Amino acid sequence: MRVYLPATFSMLKALAVDGEMPVRSGYGFAVTPALREFYTAGDEEEIAHSAFEDAALASIRLLAIGEEQFPHRRVVVSVDVDDAVVDLQPEMGESVLKLDPALIRFDQVAAIHVDTEANEEYTAKAIEVIDEADLGQEDAELCVGDALDQFMAWYDPSELSALVELL
């Protein structure tokens, strides 16, 4: 199953150095039966993009907790995991799942997505208002939406070491 994991740059560094990365709280996002049922139209790619966006939003929440090196860059790690380690959590959201064990290995990584420098302004503003957006404050929701509208750069797993070293 393809799973989208919210992350931070520090988590990417751990993956590069240790060859594995803990999954924060064990939660990830994927195209689940509940997510497919939620969408009455759209192809598999569009549905997968929805799960990816859920992970990008969760990355903003991780950044709100604090990140030293790149405090305004979302990170999403796309991984392929065995269905046996996945526990669907539809009561928490259509795309939500929990991984057990909550650890991914480098060989499970399919792609790495990172905000570009141009996106930092949008992400920084979203970090400031993420709690208000969660509470339904319209201006805050729009601000977070602006951050989610920014495309993230795509990296092949083979580029991880260079990405961590050069950024």
Q: Does residue 139 surpass a pLDDT of 80?
A: yes
Q: Where are the domains of the chain?
A: 2-160
Query: C-alpha 1: how far from its chain's center?
Result: 15
Q: Does residue 166 surpass a pLDDT of 80?
A: no
Question: At 120, which amino acid appears?
Answer: E
Contacts of residue 123, Cβ cutoff 8 Å, sequence gap at least 6: 60, 63, 72, 73, 74, 115, 147, 150
Please write the tens of the pLDDT for every residue from 31-81: 999 999 998 887 889 999 999 999 999 999 999 998 888 899 999 999 999
Q: Is pLDDT larger for residue 147 or for residue 165?
A: 147
- Please give the share of the chain, as a percent, with pLDDT higher than 90: 90
Instruction: Return d(Cα 114, Cα 158) in angstroms, integer.
Output: 15
Residue 41's pLDDT is what?
A: 80
First to last CA, the chain: 30
State if pTM tops 0.85. yes
Instruction: Return d(Cα 98, Cα 85) in angstroms, integer.
Output: 8
